[in-house]
């Protein structure tokens, strides 16, 4: 039933989250909102890396564009909150389309380098024009939650509701896109672009489209991030954010959206786990260095043992036992004696 | 598998939605207004600080929490404040606003601190103040380490108090000094082209100082090798005899090193943010002597001034608490901050509340004992701490000592008020510095 009607899964998940938000203390609610932000950010990377086969090490730059666009729309045009998110998506998507045009000609380390340069360079641009507020940044204040929700309804719960509503809608939409003609096209391009092209898929167009959508989603995540901390500034979107998202995507498994919660929860939970360990055994030095160590260790273990992510691994195991109908798209093209295939 | 049709789907969604709304209307526990503020018991006060302990901005600044803790421990061994011992929970935010918000949330919501103290960095402080809703929660944020004039806006930041003079005040005082000392000379300025630098430009303009050459730089670009060299060639062409630098330490490092490399001589006048020898030493120890002869500004007594009773006390406390660390202006900043926190807590009395603490700083803050050589500006309308600067010259070890062997302190406001020679004499230190 759930497989056939994924919307029910999403509504059910939303309902569970809603119940959870009423039971958790405020700190967890805040962290929960952050998980939603990461989930969108990671989803945008999964679309890009796992589906279209393009690597971005600088996705933080698109989050920055989204964050600043939303904040500017709010400050200068007093745009309603939903509109600021739309503006964020559009601004980042346009930037993504421009970069995507260049990216479609690049691959592997060259593309990674280009996106990395963008993430490093963009904050300097923000510092160059006073409209972006320099190092101090600009405030992004969405205002208090509606009075009808009651006096005890906290700001963080409001952020949580907004973030998760946006995240669930986004993920639902993205799931459909990935299962559509476009998704199949991207996967074909990722697996073997020659085979895909021979099968009539326009490689360049597909890559640019994937980059544009991915950037738009990243922009949305950026707007939500700026909302949760009430600020858009260059420091909010450091290079470390880009790396965190890439790490989250690898932990989630880049080839499927199914594991997305693993990556996003891990990113938020790791500092907490590190703190718990440090409180038990150790010193301040441990607290500062342990999160990095844990993330790195997890990353290495993931790459070693479940390179496509835990969820994909599970599916593969079930498929082996003959339980699942989950089968990847395969395209084989035979020209003369040579065969190109997307099958691994 | 059960096959469901559209009607069933809609019904299920509707049921879920109604259930959701029902749960939403369940009232949360009513708050008890009689409850004491968090972070406080009959025998303890819990305070929290988030600051960069690691990351690019940490050198120098990462000594502040340790210095504060050293002073609080000293107070605790001497009976605490009104019988309460102070604990300081310190978190590392790496100078990233997102992390600063997360850490401030941990401090307020999990550690349940009574107040935040000494948070550092304008962007981080802005973000955490807004996101965690300090004002709505009534959490005092005492003595934030930034000179951004925006924090003086009491309406936007009702529970926040800063400790540094504003950048505008600093620029006005620098302007007066430069105009009087270097009249008739060719003067240039290198400044950071953002709120920080523009705050200063506004101050220079108010004080009537115009420069022969203006060299703005984008924050972050000072780290590029070509940037510093570019400044020096511009200064050379302009024949700048005096160069004011209003930027961060990495900018002064780039400027001093490139001037030295090009054999270019000018009288450097450094803003207080960019003149920290410890931070310069963290980049490269060999650069520290380049500060020699430059002019600098400060409002606290010089860390090397052992004739100052506060410095003497702070040095002995710090040497016992952190024997491996050098005593520098960051330590003085941290301990002075902790000293002011203790004065405020003491003044708030035995019946300590968050609202009471804020009130007492507004009403009596300007009379608190403090190590600073300038008056404190706290009032019901202003939340700014020190209100002036003294001028000094850097020695070969990067220590700033007052010109003429005594502190000549100028004071002013962030507006259009004049810069005047301060007549303030610092009251004697309270017994044992408590």
Please provide residue A202's backbone torsions phi and psi, each rounded to the nearest 5 degrees. Answer: -80, 105
Q: Do A150 and B28 touch (CB under 8 A)?
A: yes
| Set of chain A residues whose Cβ sits within 8 Å of the Cβ of B221 | 124, 127
Contact B364/A at CB under 8 A = no
Q: Per residue in B138-151, pLDDT tens?
A: 999 999 988 777 88
Q: Do B196 and A25 touch (CB under 8 A)?
A: no
Number of CB pairs, chain A paired with chain B, less than 8 A apart: 138
A203: distance to nearest CA of chain B, Å?
38
Report the distance separating Cα B110 and Cα B112, nearest Å: 5
Q: Which residue among A155, A231, A240 places its CB closest to the CB of B127?
A: A231
| Set of chain A residues whose Cβ sits within 8 Å of the Cβ of B131 | 228-231
Q: Do A230 and B105 touch (CB under 8 A)?
A: no
Position B354 scores a pLDDT of 93
Report the distance separating Cα A202 and Cα B316, nearest Å: 74
Q: Do A134 and B193 touch (CB under 8 A)?
A: yes
Which residues, other chains included, contact A204 with Cβ-Cβ below 8 Å and sequence gap of 6+?
A: A104
Q: Is the ipTM of this complex over 0.90?
A: no
Within a 10 A sphere around the Cβ of B222, how many other Cβ atoms? 22
Average pLDDT over residues B404-427: 87
**Does position B198 have pLDDT exceeding 60, yes or no?**
yes
Per-residue confidence in pLDDT tens, chain A, 344 aa: 456 677 888 888 888 888 888 888 889 999 999 999 999 999 999 999 888 888 888 899 999 999 999 999 999 998 899 999 999 999 999 999 998 888 878 877 888 888 888 888 887 777 777 788 777 888 898 888 888 888 888 889 999 999 999 999 999 999 999 989 999 898 888 888 888 888 888 888 888 999 999 999 999 999 999 999 999 988 889 888 898 899 899 888 888 888 888 889 988 888 888 888 877 776 666 667 788 888 888 888 888 888 777 887 788 887 777 654 444 556 666 667 777 666 55
| Set of chain A residues whose Cβ sits within 8 Å of the Cβ of B147 | none
Highest mean pLDDT among A43-57, A270-284, B28-42, B213-227: A43-57
Q: Do A137 and B23 touch (CB under 8 A)?
A: no
Q: Do B220 and A7 touch (CB under 8 A)?
A: no
Contact A150/B at CB under 8 A = yes
Contact A18/B at CB under 8 A = yes
B171: distance to nearest CA of chain A, Å?
19
Please provide residue B414's backbone torsions phi and psi, each rounded to the nearest 5 degrees. Answer: -85, -5
Q: Per residue in B381-394, pLDDT tens?
A: 888 889 899 999 99
Return the percentage of chain B with pLDDT > 90, whole number.
48
Q: Which residue among A136, A228, A284 places its CB closest to the CB of B148?
A: A136
**CA count, 13 A, side-chain hemisphere, B153:** 8
When mean pLDDT is compared across A89-98, A124-133, B6-15, B411-420, the lowest value belongs to: B6-15
Q: Per residue in B56-68, pLDDT tens?
A: 777 788 899 999 9
Position B28 scores a pLDDT of 40
DSSP 8-state assignment for residue A80: -
Return mean pLDDT, chain B: 86
Residues 287-326 of A with CB under 8 A from B: 287-288
Average pLDDT over residues B100-113: 93
B9: distance to nearest CA of chain A, Å?
8
Q: Which residue among A19, A228, A284 places its CB closest to the CB of B131?
A: A228
Q: Do B130 and A284 touch (CB under 8 A)?
A: no
Q: Which residue among B9, B133, B218 places its CB closest to the CB of A127?
A: B218
Position B34 scores a pLDDT of 46
Position A333 scores a pLDDT of 67
Position A128 scores a pLDDT of 72
Position B56 scores a pLDDT of 73
Position A328 scores a pLDDT of 54
Position A323 scores a pLDDT of 55
């Amino acid at each position: 039933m759930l497989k056939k009607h994924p919307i029910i899964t999403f509504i059910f998940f939303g309902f569970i989250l809603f119940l959870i938000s009423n039971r958790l203390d405020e700190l967890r609610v805040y962290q929960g909102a952050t998980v939603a932000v990461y989930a969108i950010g990671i989803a945008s990377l999964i679309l890009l890396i796992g589906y279209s086969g393009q690597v971005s090490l600088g996705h933080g730059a698109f989050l920055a564009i989204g964050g600043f666009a939303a904040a500017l729309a709010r400050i200068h045009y007093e745009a309603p909150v939903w509109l600021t998110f739309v503006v964020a998506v559009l601004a980042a998507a346009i930037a993504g389309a421009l970069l995507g045009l260049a990216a479609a000609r690049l691959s592997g380390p060259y593309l990674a380098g280009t996106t990395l340069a963008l993430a490093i360079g963009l904050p300097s641009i923000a510092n160059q024009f006073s409209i972006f507020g320099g190092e101090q940044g600009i405030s992004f204040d969405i205002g208090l939650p509606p009075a009808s929700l009651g006096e005890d309804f906290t700001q963080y719960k409001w952020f949580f509701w907004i973030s998760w509503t946006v995240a669930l809608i986004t993920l639902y939409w993205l799931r459909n896109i990935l299962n559509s003609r476009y998704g199949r096209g991207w996967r074909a391009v990722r697996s073997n672009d020659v085979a895909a092209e021979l099968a009539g898929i326009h490689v360049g167009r597909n890559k640019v489209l994937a980059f544009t959508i991915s950037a738009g989603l990243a922009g949305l995540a950026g707007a939500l991030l700026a909302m949760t901390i009430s600020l858009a500034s260059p420091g909010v979107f450091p290079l470390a954010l880009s790396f965190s998202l890439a790490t989250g995507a690898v932990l989630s498994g880049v080839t499927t959206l199914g594991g997305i919660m693993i990556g996003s929860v891990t990113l938020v939970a790791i500092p907490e786990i590190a703190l718990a360990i440090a409180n038990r055994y150790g010193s301040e030095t441990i607290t500062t260095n342990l999160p990095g160590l844990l993330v790195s260790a997890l990353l290495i273990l993931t790459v070693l043992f479940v390179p496509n992510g835990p969820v994909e691994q599970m599916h593969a195991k079930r498929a082996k036992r003959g339980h699942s109908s989950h089968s990847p798209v395969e395209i084989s093209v035979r020209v003369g004696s040579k065969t190109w295939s997307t099958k691994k | 598998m059960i096959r469901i049709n559209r009607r069933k789907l809609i019904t299920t969604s509707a049921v879920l939605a109604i259930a959701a709304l029902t749960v939403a209307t369940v009232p949360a526990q009513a708050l008890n207004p009689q409850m004491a503020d968090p972070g406080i018991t009959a025998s303890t006060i819990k305070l929290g600080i988030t600051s960069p302990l690691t990351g690019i901005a940490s050198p120098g600044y990462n000594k502040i929490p340790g210095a504060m803790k050293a002073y609080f421990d000293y107070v605790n061994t001497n009976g605490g404040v009104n019988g309460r011992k102070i604990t300081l929970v310190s978190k590392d935010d790496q100078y990233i606003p997102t992390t600063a918000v997360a850490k401030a949330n941990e401090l307020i919501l999990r550690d349940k601190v009574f107040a935040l103290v000494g948070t550092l960095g304008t962007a981080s402080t802005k973000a955490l103040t807004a996101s965690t809703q300090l004002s709505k929660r009534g959490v005092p944020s005492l003595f934030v380490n930034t000179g951004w004039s925006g924090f003086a806006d009491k309406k936007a930041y009702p529970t926040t108090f800063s400790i540094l003079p504003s950048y505008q005040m600093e620029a006005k005082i620098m302007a007066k000094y430069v105009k009087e000392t270097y009249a008739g000379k060719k003067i240039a300025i290198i400044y950071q082209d953002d709120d920080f630098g523009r705050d200063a430009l506004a101050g220079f303009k108010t004080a009537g100082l115009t420069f022969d050459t203006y060299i703005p730089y984008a924050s972050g670009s000072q780290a590029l090798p070509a940037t510093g060299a570019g400044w020096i060639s511009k200064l050379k062409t302009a024949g700048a005899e005096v160069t004011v630098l209003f930027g961060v330490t990495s900018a002064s490092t780039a400027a001093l090193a490139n001037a030295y490399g090009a054999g270019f001589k000018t009288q450097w006048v450094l803003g207080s943010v960019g003149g920290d020898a410890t931070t310069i030493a963290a980049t490269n120890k060999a650069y520290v002597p380049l500060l020699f002869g430059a002019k600098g500004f400060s409002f606290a007594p010089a860390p090397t001034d052992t004739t100052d009773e506060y410095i003497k006390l702070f040095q002995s406390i710090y040497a016992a608490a952190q024997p491996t660390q050098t005593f520098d202006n960051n330590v003085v900043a941290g301990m002075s901050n902790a000293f002011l926190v203790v004065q405020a807590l003491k003044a708030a009395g035995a019946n300590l509340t968050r609202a009471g603490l804020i009130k007492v700083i507004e009403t009596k803050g300007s009379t608190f004992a403090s190590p600073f050589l300038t008056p404190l500006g706290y009032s019901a309308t202003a939340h700014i701490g020190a209100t002036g600067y003294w001028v000094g010259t850097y020695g070969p070890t990067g220590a700033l000592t007052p010109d003429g062997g005594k502190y000549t302190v100028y004071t002013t406001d962030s507006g259009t008020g004049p810069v005047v020679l301060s007549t303030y004499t610092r009251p004697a230190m309270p017994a044992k510095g408590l």
